[in-house]
Amino acid sequence: MSKNTLLKIENPLLGVLFLNQALTGFFHNSLSHKSFELLHEGGAIALLTLTLAHIYLNWGWVKSNFLSRS
């Protein structure tokens, strides 16, 4: 699978996970402890994992824009 295809799948997933974190944090008191733990804490692990994968897939861009010597 190409890097571009992976990013087309990963980017919307990152958006959904970000919304999940915001909404479960905002509605924390409306959720049971078990639901909050599953959605918010599990979502945080997934969000962190996908964020690291996103940085890895875009590392060339990061290097050329932020780590160049010019």
State pTM to two decimals. Answer: 0.88
Q: Tell whether 60 is covered by a domain.
A: no
Domain that holds residue 39: 3-53
Number of domains composing the chain: 1
- The tens digit of pLDDT for each residue in 40-66 reads 999 999 999 999 999 999 999 999 999
**Which of 5, 12, 3, 2 has its CA nearest to residue 50?**
12
- The tens digit of pLDDT for each residue in 16-44 reads 999 999 999 999 999 999 999 999 999 99
Residue 70 confidence (pLDDT) above 80: no
Q: Tell whether 29 is covered by a domain.
A: yes
DSSP letters, the chain, are --HHHHHHHHHHHHHHHHHHHHHHHHTGGGS-HHHHIIIIIHHHHHHHHHHHHHHHHTHHHHHHHHS---
